[in-house]
Chain A
Amino acid sequence: MNTPKLRVICASVLCAIFVVGLFAGTVSPYPYAKQFRERPNAAPSSTHLLGTDSLGRDLFARLIYGTRVSLLLAPAAALLATLLAGIFGGLAGLVGGWCEKFILAATDLSMAIPLLFVLLALRALLPLDISPVLSVIATFALLGLLGWPSSLRVVWAATKNLRNCDFLLLARATGCGRWRMIVRHLLPNLRPVLFAQFWISIPVFVLTEATLSMLGLGVIEPLPSWGNLLRGLEDISAVTANPWRLTPLFLLALVVICFQLILPAQEETA
């Protein structure tokens, strides 16, 4: 199978998953919190495609709603992180001097501390009994606000390279103003870099959210996410008895692999 074909397949898989997540309310057979109390831990059947959990909730419905939470908010967090990286990385690369030194020092400091530890510490500062919706917002806002340092380094290097390019010199020589030069001449050249950073941040944030939620510090029940659905895997006997419970893990791996396999195509278009 040639690579372009593989990319098309990956893109199709991602699109399909995104669409299902986006229209979870229509696609899902039941609301994610609806309990079938007479059927807890049910095996897969025509009524419950992936069975039910210990509270009798339909796992297929929860998986679909979980997809929406994980896959729609991770790009939002990636967008925020890329935006921050773009603004501060671009500023450091363009202005130089003490501004560049300060921004890079702050970036190095942030990169020296593992993201997951910082997220755990900050998330632990928030009350554990916050509402599920707030927990989603807090989780992804934290991811977005803390996930920029590595992207910033890349944007900074790209901007610094472009700063002394002849075409920017020529734009200045034609009388182009500073802001117009940044928006009309510099940004189009940074766009592939920014897009690549945005793209590679999405699977990272999906995985980080899953880790946080598995630890109980991410998206809070009853709202489903791939992370808190995976909490069911803590008990290995439950997994061996109900192997279909691995579906969120399979989906998570599939999505991350698809994101990674599509990425070279994005770089080529740069």
Chain B
Amino acid sequence: MTSESPLLSARLSVDYRNKPGVLKNLCLEIQRGEIVGLVGESGSGKSTLALALLQLLQLKGAKVQGEVVFQGENLLQKKESQLRDIRGRQMSVVLQSPLTSLNPALRIGTQLKEAWRAHANGTGDQCHAAVRAALRSVSLPDSEEFLKRRPSQLSVGQGQRVIIAMAILHRPALLIADEPTSALDTITQSEILSLFARLNRELDMAILYISHDLLSVAALCHRVKGGLSTLNE
């Protein structure tokens, strides 16, 4: 991979068993440190694209064709164990609804530690320190009291920040944000957008920001990749 080659270059077609042609030859390129906005109306395949890039669609019985070249390697040709090593460490995702994305049975601290342990074998203290640092970087308290809370004890905005903290624990090169502000009020939306901008600046993390909210895309993104329906051939 040369220094000029994109961080991610994807050309994808996705078919569900009962819904063929959800994505047809969709082409997307993201450079290092770039924030790319992807807009499209509801049902145009935005979330499908997010999951297809992470190779998580096969679980839903979808057929993914084409190529997803990430840091010079085609993810479609990788084994599940190799993909597991990439997910969360080099490429992370923030899902739409924090209320359903956090495990209701686990405490916040446990969920963050689990995300850290997926790619690290350090001591408990190292894990604790990494978790606290991630919480601080998303402007959340790093107190024991907060770590012991359950998702039901968080506001929607706090929940979304926890998910972002989980996503950036291993400082991934690419963060896929799948409509991360659609469940939030205007003030929290603005705070989350500022957070993304700061993380991009401080960590040089590329962000694929998927949304149908043109205002937030315009406020955050360096480049907008047009309506998703127009990207489909």
- Chain B contact-residue range equals 20 to 34
**Contact call B100/A166, Cβ cutoff below 8 A:** yes
- Chain A contact-residue range equals 10 to 19
Residues in A neighbouring B104, C-beta threshold 8 A: 167, 189
Contact flags B97-118 to A (C-beta < 8 A → 1, else 0): 1001111111000000011001
**Contact call B103/A185, Cβ cutoff below 8 A:** yes
In this complex, what residue of A is CB-closest to B81? A177
Which of the 9-residue segments A32-40, A103-111, A168-176, A221-229 touches chain B?
A168-176
**Contact call B87/A175, Cβ cutoff below 8 A:** yes
Which of the 9-residue segments B88-96, B204-212, B222-230 touches chain A?
B88-96
In this complex, what residue of B is CB-closest to A173? B93
Q: Determine whether B41 belongs to the interface, using a CB cutoff of 8 Å to chain A.
A: no
Q: Knowing A165-B100, A173-B56, A175-B85, say if A189 contacts B119 (CB, 8 Å).
A: no
**Contact call A177/B118, Cβ cutoff below 8 A:** yes
**Contact call A174/B115, Cβ cutoff below 8 A:** yes
Residues in A neighbouring B84, C-beta threshold 8 A: 175-177
Q: Determine whether A243 belongs to the interface, using a CB cutoff of 8 Å to chain B.
A: no
Q: Determine whether A231 belongs to the interface, using a CB cutoff of 8 Å to chain B.
A: no
Q: Determine whether B134 belongs to the interface, using a CB cutoff of 8 Å to chain A.
A: no
Q: Determine whether A188 belongs to the interface, using a CB cutoff of 8 Å to chain B.
A: yes
Q: Give CA–CA (A177, B115) in the complex, Å.
A: 11
| A window 125-176: CB within 8 A of B | 164-167, 169-176
Q: Knowing A166-B100, A173-B56, A173-B88, say if A191 contacts B166 (CB, 8 Å).
A: no
Q: Determine whether B54 belongs to the interface, using a CB cutoff of 8 Å to chain A.
A: yes
Q: Determine whether A184 belongs to the interface, using a CB cutoff of 8 Å to chain B.
A: yes
Residues in B neighbouring A171, C-beta threshold 8 A: 103, 114
**Contact call A172/B114, Cβ cutoff below 8 A:** no
Residues in A neighbouring B115, C-beta threshold 8 A: 174-176
Q: Determine whether B1 belongs to the interface, using a CB cutoff of 8 Å to chain A.
A: no
Q: Determine whether B163 belongs to the interface, using a CB cutoff of 8 Å to chain A.
A: yes
Q: Give CA–CA (A172, B60) in the complex, Å.
A: 13
From B59, B103, B119, B163, contact of A175 by CB (8 A): B119
| A window 180-231: CB within 8 A of B | 180, 184-185, 188-189, 191
In this complex, what residue of B is CB-closest to A169? B56
Q: Knowing A167-B102, A167-B103, say if A184 contacts B87 (CB, 8 Å).
A: no
In this complex, what residue of B is CB-closest to A270? B105
Q: Give CA–CA (A169, B103) in the complex, Å.
A: 10
| B window 46-73: CB within 8 A of A | 51, 54, 56, 59-60
Residues in A neighbouring B103, C-beta threshold 8 A: 167, 171, 185, 188-189
Q: Knowing A169-B56, A177-B84, say if A189 contacts B105 (CB, 8 Å).
A: yes
**Contact call A166/B105, Cβ cutoff below 8 A:** no
Other than A167-B100, A174-B92, give 19 A-B pairs with Cβ distance below 8 A.
A166-B95, A166-B97, A167-B102, A167-B103, A167-B104, A169-B56, A169-B95, A172-B87, A174-B88, A175-B86, A175-B87, A175-B115, A176-B84, A176-B88, A176-B114, A177-B84, A188-B105, A189-B105, A191-B105
B→A interface (CB under 8 Å)? 51, 54, 56, 59-60, 84-89, 92-93, 95, 97, 100-106, 114-115, 118-119, 163, 166-167
Among all A-B residue pairs, the 3 with the closest Cβ atoms = A175-B88, A188-B105, A174-B88
15 A-B residue pairs with Cβ-Cβ distance under 8 Å, sorted by A, are A164-B60, A166-B97, A167-B103, A169-B59, A169-B95, A170-B93, A173-B87, A173-B95, A175-B87, A175-B88, A175-B119, A177-B84, A184-B106, A188-B106, A189-B103
